[in-house]
Amino acid sequence: MTETALDWQRLHDLRPADFEAAGNRWHAVSSRAGADALRVGQAMSAQLRETQRGDAATAALRRLRRLHRNLDYVRTECGLVRTTLNGLAADLAEPQRQLRLALDEAAELGFTVHPDGSITYPASTVHTLLGPQDTPAGQAAPRAALPLDLPHSSLDSSLRPLNPHADRAQALADRIARAVRAAAEVDARYTRTLNGLRAAKGLDITAATLRDVRRDTADVRHAASAYLAADVPFDATPAERKAWWDALTDEQRQEFLRIAPDLVGNLDGIPAAARDQANRAYLPTLIEELAGRHDDASQTKLEALRLLQARLNQPGGLPMYLLGIGDEGNGRAIVAYGNPDTSRNVAAYVPGLGTALDADFVEDTMVRAEDTAIGARDVDPSSAAIIWLGYDAPQSADVMSTGDAERGAPAYSRFISGLVATNEKSDPHVTAIGHSYGSLTVGTAARQTNGIPGVDDVVLLGSPGVGVDRAEDLGVGREHVFVGAAENDPVTRLPTKEEFALAGPAAFIYGDVYDRGDDDIYFGKDPASAAFGAHRFKVDPGPAPVLEMGGFDAHSQYFTPSLDSESASNIARVVGGRPGKITLEDRR
């Protein structure tokens, strides 16, 4: 070992708290720069109001802008240094702990640990069948390799018994060596990260500078990932997560939101504003990742995310909250129109057949939630509506099964629990909306023992069946179940699986299987039927699939006022808390 390499004594003497203390200073500088940047921003905006400035003033203004960017740069990078130091301190703690445990054991056994990591053990007496035998003292040399890579201690070829201390000493020497090696690995990893955090020279902030900052953020996120993720309550309930988030200091929250937004952005139970901030911060990272992959699925999601980003940045319209974003499966996106935490009425809509994170999702599916929010706010201004794509919906009618709904239902329930946990009203009015296959997802969640905790009303639109035969099995009481089914919506008339198998998909729409006159459909009782017993509200019949070449159009217009104002109004009435005002339709 060289003079300056890490050895066990140096590891033993390390005080990780020294790194944290230095980190606090970096944080103070970062924080101060952030506050100063705000002040410069305010100073600049006053100047911008003036129209006639002249050259000197224009030049001064340019320098103010540069100063503003510099302060932002300080705030971000010094914050990264602080997180790096905290991560380093945290990651060194475990090897140090392992070392101390080993040293304590050695001391208890009366072994001597030498500076080079070897361990001497005393002589011992072994009781054998031939009587007590003396075994001499010895020394175990450290081996840093992992246990499985090491040969078993070789048997002494002579018949003399081994000193029982030998194996224990060897094990301890190995543990000490491994602890040192682990600490050295941590040190090397963080040294690499620190090397990237040097300030650029001068006062310029260029596009290259900003790229460096993004790369540094990703680096630190990666290097300090164990530290950052350590306290995040992934396995807790939404209510517990809310309590955890509330108990964090503002700077702890900022650390997550700036450096590891992906850890908290999708956590049900984190307040909407924080999730929104986290996911908006994470969105460019996700876009960049997808841009680097060239398969079709990634490109589709990439297109969707770019469109989504543009929409989020568009001024005007209802306030949007990005509550979730991800590229797993067919993609994940949860978008609220209106603030779900401050609204008295909150609806969460589960889309169905054919939905995935693609351009259509942003340009069409999301708009349905927006329309619902606008309509509901006419009924009660304190309303918000959410599109929840938190599962993989089936992509075609041919391959529909209950599996996707069964996988999506628990996630949806957890999401609703999160809404309830973070909503600031004492008793928010929550509506679950399931459209198409999404109604089966909602139904699957709702038919569980306690229903979907927190949901007051259920709206089922264009449903192929919800997995139960009666409205009262959905956990809210049949008075609180509302169904919209357009006469010409083929999805609401899908035959049962048996009939489907006989007739085939094309035949059922275009052939005489279409109108069968019974109320059993693909996933159970038709929710629009008298037997199911829900409220059925009026919707436009929609264009006939064959005669008017409407195809599946009647399936897709429930939310859209310009295409089906009756349906959109009725949905709004339920969501906005005025179900008594819906216009009723005879059940089938």
Partner 1 sequence: MGQQAVHHHSGSPSVPLLQHSRGPWTSASATAAELHTSTANGRNTLRPAHDPLTAWVGLTAPAALLTVLTSWEERLAAIRDECDHLSGALRQVAVHLGEVDTATGTSLKAVPVPTSAGTATR
Which range of residues in 25-33, 158-166, 306-314, 360-368 is near partner 1 by CB under 8 A?
25-33
**Residue 290 found at the interface with partner 1 (CB under 8 A):** no
Cα separation, 416 vs 432, in Å, equals: 9
Per-residue buried b or exposed e for 169-184, using 16+ beta carbons within 10 Å of the residue's own CB = bbbbbbbbbbbbbbbb
Q: In the Cβ-directed half-sphere of 177, how many Cα atoms lie within 13 Å?
A: 20
String marking each residue 75-94 x if it binds partner 1 according to CB under 8 A? --xx--x---x--x------
Which range of residues in 70-78, 152-160, 332-340, 431-439 is near partner 1 by CB under 8 A?
70-78
- What amino acid is encoded at 44 in this protein? M
- Within 8 A by CB and 6+ apart from 25, the residues are none
State the pairing for strand pair 535-536/481-484: parallel
Q: Whose Cβ is closer to partner 1: residue 162's or residue 200's?
A: 200
Q: Whose Cβ is closer to partner 1: residue 183's or residue 325's?
A: 183
- Within 8 A by CB and 6+ apart from 476, the residues are 446, 451, 455, 456, 457, 458
Q: Whose Cβ is closer to partner 1: residue 20's or residue 472's?
A: 20
**Residue 399 found at the interface with partner 1 (CB under 8 A):** no
The single residue among 67, 232, 513, 544 that binds partner 1, judged by CB under 8 A, is 67
State the minimum distance, in angstroms, from the CB of residue 346 to partner 1: 43
Per-residue buried b or exposed e for 386-420, using 16+ beta carbons within 10 Å of the residue's own CB = bbbbbbbbbeebeebebebbeebbebbbbbbbbbb
Task: Find out whether 400 and 354 touch, Cβ atoms under 8 Å.
Answer: no
State the DSSP string of 545-585: TTTT--TTGGGS-TT-TTT-HHHHHHHHHHHTT-GGGPPB-
Q: Whose Cβ is closer to partner 1: residue 65's or residue 470's?
A: 65
Site for partner 1 in 506-545 (CB under 8 A): none
Per-residue buried b or exposed e for 440-476, using 16+ beta carbons within 10 Å of the residue's own CB = bbbbbbbbeeebbebbbbbbbbbbbbbbbbbbbbbbb
**Residue 46 found at the interface with partner 1 (CB under 8 A):** yes
Cα separation, 185 vs 92, in Å, equals: 10
The single residue among 19, 412, 500, 537 that binds partner 1, judged by CB under 8 A, is 19
Q: Whose Cβ is closer to partner 1: residue 4's or residue 426's?
A: 4
The single residue among 64, 307, 546, 563 that binds partner 1, judged by CB under 8 A, is 64
Beta-bridge mates of residue 388: 334
State the minimum distance, in angstroms, from the CB of residue 42 to partner 1: 8
**Residue 43 found at the interface with partner 1 (CB under 8 A):** yes
Torsions phi, psi for 37 (to 5 deg) = -60, -40
Q: Whose Cβ is closer to partner 1: residue 70's or residue 217's?
A: 70
Q: Whose Cβ is closer to partner 1: residue 77's or residue 276's?
A: 77
The single residue among 39, 211, 215, 497 that binds partner 1, judged by CB under 8 A, is 39
The single residue among 145, 146, 150, 203 that binds partner 1, judged by CB under 8 A, is 203
**Residue 211 found at the interface with partner 1 (CB under 8 A):** no
State the minimum distance, in angstroms, from the CB of residue 316 to partner 1: 29
**Residue 4 found at the interface with partner 1 (CB under 8 A):** yes
State the minimum distance, in angstroms, from the CB of residue 463 to partner 1: 59
Cα separation, 185 vs 223, in Å, equals: 11
Task: Find out whether 90 and 223 touch, Cβ atoms under 8 Å.
Answer: no
Q: Whose Cβ is closer to partner 1: residue 14's or residue 362's?
A: 14
State the DSSP string of 19-75: HHHHHHHHHHHHHHHHHHHHHHHHHHHHHHT-S---HHHHHHHHHHHHHHHHHHHHH
Give the interface size with partner 1 as a residue count (CB under 8 A). Answer: 58
**Residue 581 found at the interface with partner 1 (CB under 8 A):** no
Site for partner 1 in 182-201 (CB under 8 A): 187-188, 190-191, 194-195, 197-201
Which range of residues in 30-38, 138-146, 237-245, 418-426 is near partner 1 by CB under 8 A?
30-38
Cα separation, 455 vs 476, in Å, equals: 7
Cα separation, 466 vs 528, in Å, equals: 11
Tokens of 261: 């937004």
State the minimum distance, in angstroms, from the CB of residue 245 to partner 1: 29
Residues that bind partner 1 (CB under 8 A): 4-7, 10-11, 14-15, 18-19, 21-22, 24-26, 28-29, 32-33, 36, 39-40, 43-44, 46-47, 49-50, 53-54, 56-57, 59-60, 63-64, 67, 70-71, 74, 77-78, 81, 85, 88, 187-188, 190-191, 194-195, 197-203
